Structure 1
Amino acid sequence: MTEQQQVAGPASTEDAQMNEPANEPAPAESVVAEPAPAESVVAEPAPAESVVAVPAPAEPASAESVVAEPAPATTAEPAPAESVVAESAPADDTLAATATATATATEPEPEPVGAGVRSPKDRRVLRAVLRWTAAVGVFAAVASASAYGITGMERTDVPGLATQSDGRWDFPALVRAPLPSGSPAPFAEANEANAHYADLRALLLPAPKGATPDKALNGADGWLPTKDYLAEYAVADDRQELGQTLVDSGLRHIAARGWTTPDGTRTRIYLLQFGTAAVADKLYAGEAVPFSNPKHQVQGDSTSVYDEDFPDRAAVSGVERQVYREQKPYGPEQVREAYVSAGDVFALIVQSRKGGAGAVPFQQTVALQSQLLG
């Protein structure tokens, strides 16, 4: 009886240990004897309740079985403390995780933006595009209107583009005189005589806009008498000598035109036509001495000299000229004159103005008249 109690004593002690809470550390020898495999603990953790709820067999074991074969660590011993803490989740956390997963699975997906209702961002972008489109349209309309207004204005009317007048006159558009049927131009290859077949009166330069015509130079039917031409020269002897030269040279007729501009400049143009270009060229050479004074002095001119400042751009093919200007001290008026030779036509152009005759209007008049003769 005593031996059975001794044998049962250890069993009771063992039962008491089995009934202790699972979080007590296991005996050192059981942990060393058979530790639980690490992969089994990580892959399939034992539920916390299984460690606590499964007790050892209630039957008493014999002394030999107690001594020789201790109870297996996996059955009788609880899992290590660290594995219990790391792998056994509290019941509350499990329920919270389950509830979250369920709510996520059952929550409906949000309706995609733009499926019928524009987002506020899209509406802002659309309004910005519409505003910029309207602004560009207004800008284009204003720019077009401005461009049209500027192109319809004269250069002198546009601020910033207006240039100060250099004294040029506003002449009408020049039109070449019509030629008789089958007649060549004066300097065409077929016209070896360089004769002008067009009406000489149609070769005169028209008066500029705003000028007052000089009716005294119109003559009868547009032909000026020789004496009226000779009156342009100041010295009586010069008039007589030149008159005889014109008769000997076979002068055919004279066409003249004159005008006075608002600034007081008086212009006179005389076109003298001869039978051949050789005769006209001889008269030109006798009257217009190159780089010197003209042979005969015109009215109001006392000290004329060759005008070296006259531009070469006024030259016209087939037309020659000699240009003079009165130098100081001149009388009440300054005189500018030009002698022109163009085929069978000899021309004299005179301009005068009180206080000084402008160089630009004179250059313009000589150049345009040379073009009509060429």
Structure 2
Amino acid sequence: MTEQQTMTVADVVPAPEPVAEPALSPAAPRRSRRVLWAVARWTAAVVVCGGVGAGTAMGITALDREDVPGLATESDGRWEYPRLRLPALPVDRPRPFGDDNEGEIHHADVRQLLLPAPVGATVDPKTNGGFVSTDAYLSLYGKEYRAEMKQALADSTLRHIAARAWTTPDGTRTSVHLLRFASVAYAQQYHDETLRGGYGTVGLKTLPDGVDGFVMDSFTEGIKVRDTKADAFWERKPYGPEQVRWAYVQAGDTLALVTQTRKGGALAVPFQQTVTLQNQLLG
């Protein structure tokens, strides 16, 4: 209500005689209305903006991070693997590192312990989860090592080698070989004496084909799988068109070899991911 509308009859004073200056009282209500309308408009604007801001904040909060423009998390380089499951065991057979399995024997079919290829990879039809020959496995190593390695495998009563290989769209070729021996003692002997050159040796006695120098990778220290041990290496510069990364996983009666090669340089993240997952499957 305006000022005039709130006045009582007793407050009304007779109008004076006309004077030269025009009366200002009739303009006051119009000015007050203009001020009130302006205040009302600004108040409404503030309320609307506040509501829109709150609504936007609530909307962003409700979205997944990947759905908000500009906030999507970029891939860290890991591959997408199928959901991994340990294979079923024969009846009354324990896991390899259970308290009732002193021999640390893998009773599951070793082929079922191979890591599957990641999503989008092209699997090598000749190395697709089956058994491979000793020569096929030895072809990964330098020619100068193969004769001695072949004799060592024959002496260690190697049972069989299962393997899978694939190539991802970025050109990385991965191979996984699982060597299953007659006992954990033979598996360790082959690893320690033939591959490493003696128990406790820091270096390597045998190297992948074309590799002259290497650096030991320390990421395996973070792999915590009971009663297993992993050692990883990468080819030191200078190297040829491709770089090699490889790792060994000792797990009871089974020894795994994981290799990755890529033109220009093998990437660390997918290699570490692959080695870790294969280690978990063997544990």
TM-score, normalised via structure 1 length: 0.57
Aligned equivalent of 2:84, options 174, 177, 195: 174
Deviation at 1:300, TM superposition (A): 3.1
Q: Deviations over 1:87-133 (max 9, x none)?
A: xxxxxxxxxxxxxxxxxxxxxxxxxxxxxxxxxxxxxxxxxxxxxxx
Higher strand fraction: Structure 1 or Structure 2?
2
Deviation at 1:186, TM superposition (A): 0.4
Q: Give matches, 1:231-246, under 5 Å.
A: 231-235=139-143, 237-246=144-153
Task: Describe the shift of the 1:288–1:161 C-alpha distance in structure 2 as closer, same or farther (beyond 3 A).
Answer: farther
Q: Give matches, 1:222-301, under 5 Å.
A: 222-235=130-143, 237-286=144-193, 287-288=195-196, 292-301=202-211
Question: Does 1:373 pair with 2:282?
Answer: yes
Aligned equivalent of 2:63, options 134, 150, 171: 150
8 Å Cα contact 1:349-1:366 kept in structure 2: yes
Task: Describe the shift of the 1:327–1:157 C-alpha distance in structure 2 as closer, same or farther (beyond 3 A).
Answer: farther
Q: Hey, what does 2:109 align to over in structure 1?
A: 199
Higher helix fraction: Structure 1 or Structure 2?
1
Deviation at 1:172, TM superposition (A): 1.0
Task: Describe the shift of the 1:148–1:178 C-alpha distance in structure 2 as closer, same or farther (beyond 3 A).
Answer: farther
8 Å Cα contact 1:214-1:258 kept in structure 2: yes
Deviation at 1:305, TM superposition (A): 2.5
Q: Hey, what does 2:243 align to over in structure 1?
A: 334
Q: Hey, what does 1:360 align to over in structure 2?
A: 269
Q: What CA distance in whole angstroms lies between the structure 1 residues aligned with 2:60 and 2:241?
A: 50
Question: Does 1:305 pair with 2:218?
Answer: no
When the two chains are superposed, the root-mean-square deviation of aligned CA atoms in Å is: 2.5
Q: Give matches, 1:79-118, under 5 Å.
A: none
Relative CO higher for 1 or 2, CA cutoff 8 Å, sep ≥ 6? 2
Q: Deviations over 1:217-264 (max 9, x none)?
A: 237xx11111111111122x3111101111110010110001111111
8 Å Cα contact 1:300-1:334 kept in structure 2: no
8 Å Cα contact 1:288-1:339 kept in structure 2: no
Task: Describe the shift of the 1:300–1:163 C-alpha distance in structure 2 as closer, same or farther (beyond 3 A).
Answer: farther
Q: What CA distance in whole angstroms lies between the structure 2 residues aligned with 1:301 and 1:315?
A: 29
Q: Deviations over 1:258-306 (max 9, x none)?
A: 1111111110110000111111111111213657432112123221232
Q: What CA distance in whole angstroms lies between the structure 1 residues aligned with 2:239 and 2:155?
A: 34
TM-score, normalised via structure 2 length: 0.74
Secondary structure of 1:339 counterpart: strand
Q: What CA distance in whole angstroms lies between the structure 2 residues aligned with 1:324 and 1:349?
A: 10
Q: Hey, what does 2:124 align to over in structure 1?
A: 214
Secondary structure of 1:218 counterpart: strand
* Higher Cα radius of gyration: 1
Aligned equivalent of 1:346, options 255, 276, 280: 255
Q: What CA distance in whole angstroms lies between the structure 2 residues aligned with 1:249 and 1:193?
A: 16
Q: Hey, what does 1:4 align to over in structure 2?
A: none
8 Å Cα contact 2:161-2:179 kept in structure 1: yes
Q: Deviations over 1:53-110 (max 9, x none)?
A: xxxxxxxxxxxxxxxxxxxxxxxxxxxxxxxxxxxxxxxxxxxxxxxxxxxxxxxxxx
Q: What CA distance in whole angstroms lies between the structure 1 residues aligned with 2:85 and 2:124?
A: 22
Task: Describe the shift of the 1:363–1:241 C-alpha distance in structure 2 as closer, same or farther (beyond 3 A).
Answer: same
Q: Percent identity?
A: 50
Secondary structure of 2:248 counterpart: strand
Deviation at 1:146, TM superposition (A): 4.3
Structure 1 portions without partners, runs of 5+: 1-134
Task: Name the aligned partner's letter for residue 201 of structure 1.
Answer: R
Task: Describe the shift of the 1:210–1:291 C-alpha distance in structure 2 as closer, same or farther (beyond 3 A).
Answer: farther
Deviation at 1:148, TM superposition (A): 9.9
8 Å Cα contact 2:220-2:230 kept in structure 1: no
Structure 2 portions without partners, runs of 5+: 1-47
Question: Does 1:314 pair with 2:227?
Answer: no
Q: What CA distance in whole angstroms lies between the structure 2 residues aligned with 1:166 and 1:288?
A: 33
Give the number of aligned pairs: 231
Task: Name the aligned partner's letter for residue 191 of structure 1.
Answer: N
Deviation at 1:311, TM superposition (A): 4.9
